[in-house]
Amino acid sequence: MSYQEITVSGQEGVVLITLDRPQRLNAYTPDMGEELVQAIRDAAAAADNRALVITGRGEAFCAGADRDYLAGKLSRSGRKLGEEAFISSFTEEFAALPLLTIAAINGAAAGIGVTGMLAADIRIAAREAPLVLNFAELGIMPGMGSTWFLPRLVGEAKAKELLLCERRVDGATAERLGLVNRAVPAEEVLSTALAMARAAAECRPGMISAIKRGLAAGGDSGLAQALARERELSREVRP
């Protein structure tokens, strides 16, 4: 597939997807969403791939939804914002990918630039980058599973504060809250993410998927159920 709003590269089991609209601070469009879904699915379908990194070109990661599309502009395929798969139906699939997924938030991220990456396994952010959750100001309900992910990442009370009161934090604060795994200097965001991805790429085939499934089941079950699931997955990956 030929991409217009992202670029895709790969090496030694690691796929790098770059949001590529730097002139608009990588603002999200329905076309970008469709390209992301296709590229992510292609990465997951390749047996040799173990990890996926998503970053932005230029100074920003993603400045939220492009205002032209918020105002009703149609995508090349004739879809309105929110009708494309990335927003409407992809979150569960993204969270369950058999790859380790890492969001390398190299600069400012707003709206879907934040919530669209909550389903990633790991988030690395630039220390001074603003992460903006301004949905309430815009009169838009936060989506992409954010009402499920945020309370689990930062707690319900802090999620309310982030969405309704504070609405903007920098990367360093996001790390303290647990919204991102690490906050590093902007120039180190991508290299940090790629180093983690390469470490994951050294895992034996099947282990990333099995461990992700075990953690997902364990987080939503009791100890006995988690132990049973671990035994089941152990049998599955046993050489």
Arithmetic mean of pLDDT, 58-68: 96
Q: Which superfamily does 6-201 belong to?
A: 2-enoyl-CoA Hydratase; Chain A, domain 1 (3.90.226.10)
In three state form, how does the secondary structure of the chain look? CCCCCEEEEEECCEEEEEECCHHHCCCECHHHHHHHHHHHHHHHHCCCCCEEEEEECCCCCECCECHHHHCCCCCCCCCCCCCCHHHHCCHHHHHCCCCEEEEEECCCEECHHHHCCCCCCEEEEECCCEEECCHHHHCCCCCCCHHHHHHHHHCHHHHHHHHHHHCEEEHHHHHHHCCCCEEECHHHHHHHHHHHHHHHHCCCCCHHHHHHHHHHHHHCCCHHHHHHHHHHHHHHHCC
Please give the Cα distance from 125 to 107 (Å, whole number).
7
- Give the per-residue pLDDT at 31: 97
Confidence at 2, pLDDT banded by 50, 70, 90:
confident
Model's pTM, two decimal places?
Answer: 0.93
Please give the Cα distance from 174 to 166 (Å, whole number).
12
Confidence at 223, pLDDT banded by 50, 70, 90:
low
Is residue 228's pLDDT more than 90?
no
Per-residue pLDDT tens over the stretch 84-112: 999 999 999 999 999 999 999 999 999 99
- Give the per-residue pLDDT at 7: 98
The dihedral through the CA atoms of 164, 165, 170, 172 has a sign that is negative
Arithmetic mean of pLDDT, 14-28: 98
Is residue 221's pLDDT more than 70?
no
Is residue 224's pLDDT more than 80?
no
Mean pLDDT of the chain: 94
Cα radius of gyration rounded to whole Å, the chain: 18
To the nearest whole percent, how much of the chain has pLDDT over 90?
A: 83
For residue 55, the cross-strand partners are 18
Closest CA to 109 of 181, 159, 168: 168
